[in-house]
Amino acid sequence: MRPSLVWFRQDLRLADNPALQAAVDRGEPIIPIYIWSPEEEEGWAPGGASQWWLHGSLKALAADLETLGSRLVLRSGRALPALQKLARQTGAGAVFWNRRYEPAAVERDRQVEQALAADGLEAKSFKGSVLWEPWEIATQAGTPYKVFTPFYNACLRAGLGGEPLMRPSALPAPESWPDSEPLSELDLEPQRDWTDGIRKEWTPGEDSARETLRRFLRGGLGKYSRDRDVPSVLGTAQVSPHLCFGEISPRQAWVATGESGGEAWKRQLVWREFGRHLLFHFPRTADEPLRPEFVRFPWKDDPAALQLWQKGQTGYPIVDAGMRQLWETGWMHNRVRMIVASFLVKDLMIPWQEGARWFWDTLVDADLANNTLGWQWTAGCGADAAPYFRVLNPMSQGQKFDPKGKYVRRWVPELESLSAKDIHEPWNATDAVLKRASVELGKDYPYPIVDHAEARTAALDAYGQLRGDTRTRR
């Protein structure tokens, strides 16, 4: 008997796993493997928070496999030599995996498939991480979509098709197992432990993914449209890191939502698809703007301001609350992500790539397609049908989405005694109010590092010059 190798990547689950199911259907022994190969990620190797999550997810997957009479084999190094070596050691006849869509992964998978086939192996990849392949959805002209709403409508017309695959009840083991590197030797956990807050907030693994989705569907889905923009309440699903590492599939999430209701939530799942659609068809956008004219945008090189933004010390409470939540928990509310991103690229005029890199290193749900889509959308240089250059006002955004200041008080506790009226603009509070709240600006909490009104004008002027005009933008 010639075993099948199942190459796990961003699909760290047993249910609804097409590659695993293909191995089960083949009827031969199965050897699950994971290869840690950050050197092949072309500058986008998993960041610190993602590595912490990956460690926990691999540990959970290994334990789940043991309940099925199997185990997880870990290797490190470049993927193709590792797969070829494992195939020789085990006498494998097939290698199965689920597709990825990042530029480096697409090219690597092409080379792997060709080389393994040349070695006489059955080498096959599957759709396990998306609802629709990037090439399945196209405009009437056959071109990729660049605007979300038409893409969304096209996806709905295409239909989902098929139910999620069941978790196997058992996996046939080989007569002998190849050597496996200890998980600890992958050095995924930080040497200097800064993850206490993340560990308290999250539990990686397929079981946790299912429970998180169930909790949202029971208590959050009905209120999602109302609560999703309110950062002080648990109004979002918080399944994004589980989706990112494939501990739950988008098809499982979609089908579990049911046919009635949940449109706003399903729209977010399609937004995730849109990110993969764009990154696949425009692979340079992980580092370069989709709209090439933005190469000429007069970005600033301001390391001091960048560091204040990263540390949550900008003097704008809603911005600082978001950045501190990110550092403490490895996650940030989606509405606040938009606010802090707009502040970096519009108020500070620091390149969006700097923000994307920081999010990449600190988010437990760091996903290259989503990260690229979100930052380019905010910077105005990506896929966007809006006819204006968005500059979010951090004060009015705070007043609108955190009207009582609950979110700011949690993450910026030095301002907790200020009233809802003053908490989003403490610099406008009277000396008496600040004194009663025990807040000394410039000491307990910083003054704003830029004047928003002036920064907005400068950003709009820069955009007008880029377009060769001075027309007013919103």
Between CA 179 and CA 177 the distance in angstroms is 7
Tens-place pLDDT, residues 403-446: 999 999 999 999 999 999 999 999 999 999 999 999 999 999 99
Same domain, 234 and 154: yes
Same domain, 210 and 158: yes
What percent of the chain clears pLDDT 70, i.e. is strictly above it?
97
Return the HEC string of the chain: CCCEEEEECCCCCCCCCHHHHHHHHHCCCEEEEEEECHHHCCCCCCCHHHHHHHHHHHHHHHHHHHHCCCCCEEEECCHHHHHHHHHHHHCCCEEEEECCCCHHHHHHHHHHHHHHHHCCCEEEEECCCCCCCCCCCCCCCCCCCCCHHHHHHHHHHHCCCCCCCCCCCCCCCCCCCCCCCCHHHHCCCCCCCCCHHHHHHCCCCHHHHHHHHHHHHHHCHHHHHHHCCCCCCCCCCCCHHHHHCCCCCHHHHHHHHCCCCCHHHHHHHHHHHHHHHHHHHCHHHHCCCCCHHHHHCCCCCCHHHHHHHHHCCCCCHHHHHHHHHHHHHCCCCHHHHHHHHHHHHHHCCCCHHHHHHHHHHHCCCCCHHHHHHHHHHHHCCCCCCCCCCCCCCHHHHHHHHCCCCHHHHHHCHHHCCCCCCCCCCHHHCCHHHHHHCCCCECCCECCCCCCHHHHHHHHHHHHHHHHCCCCCCC
List C-alpha distances in Å: 133 to 129, 277, 365.
Answer: 9, 8, 21
Confidence grade of residue 191 (pLDDT, cut at 50, 70, 90):
confident
Tens-place pLDDT, residues 326-376: 999 999 999 999 999 999 999 999 999 999 999 999 999 999 999 999 999
pLDDT at 260: 61
Q: Is residue 37 part of a domain?
A: yes
Closest CA to 275 of 183, 398, 375: 375
Confidence grade of residue 386 (pLDDT, cut at 50, 70, 90):
low
Between CA 124 and CA 2 the distance in angstroms is 16
Does residue 171 have a pLDDT over 90?
Answer: yes
Does residue 388 have a pLDDT over 80?
Answer: no
pTM greater than 0.75 (yes/no): yes
Average pLDDT, integer, range 259-279: 91
Tens-place pLDDT, residues 23-67: 999 999 999 999 999 999 888 999 999 999 999 999 999 999 999
Q: What length is written for the chain?
A: 474
Q: Is residue 334 part of a domain?
A: yes
Q: Is residue 190 part of a domain?
A: no
Same domain, 123 and 135: no
**What does the mean pLDDT of the chain come to?**
94
Burial string for 70-107 (b: 16+ CB within 10 Å, else e) reads bbbbbbeeebbebbbebbeebebbbbbbbbbbbbbbee
Q: Phi first, then psi: give them for residue 399, nearest 5 degrees.
A: -65, -35
Average pLDDT, integer, range 443-463: 96
Same domain, 297 and 445: yes
Between CA 32 and CA 121 the distance in angstroms is 16
Is-contact 74 58, C-beta < 8 A?
yes
CA atoms within 13 A on the CB side of 351: 15
Instruction: State the CATH number of the domain containing residue 90.
Output: 3.40.50.620
Closest CA to 199 of 53, 360, 17: 53
pLDDT at 473: 42
Q: Locate tokens 């340079």: which residue? A: 284
Higher pLDDT, 245 or 261: 245
Does residue 470 have a pLDDT over 50?
Answer: no
Does residue 385 have a pLDDT over 60?
Answer: no
Does residue 207 have a pLDDT over 80?
Answer: yes
Between CA 409 and CA 417 the distance in angstroms is 8
Same domain, 15 and 145: no
Between CA 141 and CA 139 the distance in angstroms is 5
Task: Look at the chain and report how many structural domains it folds into.
Answer: 3
Same domain, 261 and 360: no
Average pLDDT, integer, range 166-194: 94
Instruction: State the CATH number of the domain containing residue 375.
Output: 1.10.579.10
Average pLDDT, integer, range 212-220: 93
Q: Is residue 369 part of a domain?
A: yes
Average pLDDT, integer, range 190-209: 92
Q: Which residues pair with 123 in a beta bridge?
A: 95
Same domain, 250 and 322: no
Average pLDDT, integer, range 212-228: 91
The domain of 225 spans 130-163+205-281
Q: Is residue 234 part of a domain?
A: yes
CB count within 10 Å of CB 449 equals 19
pLDDT at 18: 98
Same domain, 300 and 243: no
Between CA 90 and CA 297 the distance in angstroms is 54
Same domain, 249 and 300: no
Does residue 469 have a pLDDT over 60?
Answer: no
Higher pLDDT, 162 or 14: 14
Same domain, 317 and 442: yes
pLDDT at 1: 82
Sort strands 73-76 and 94-98 into parallel, antiparallel or unpaired: unpaired
Does residue 127 have a pLDDT over 60?
Answer: yes
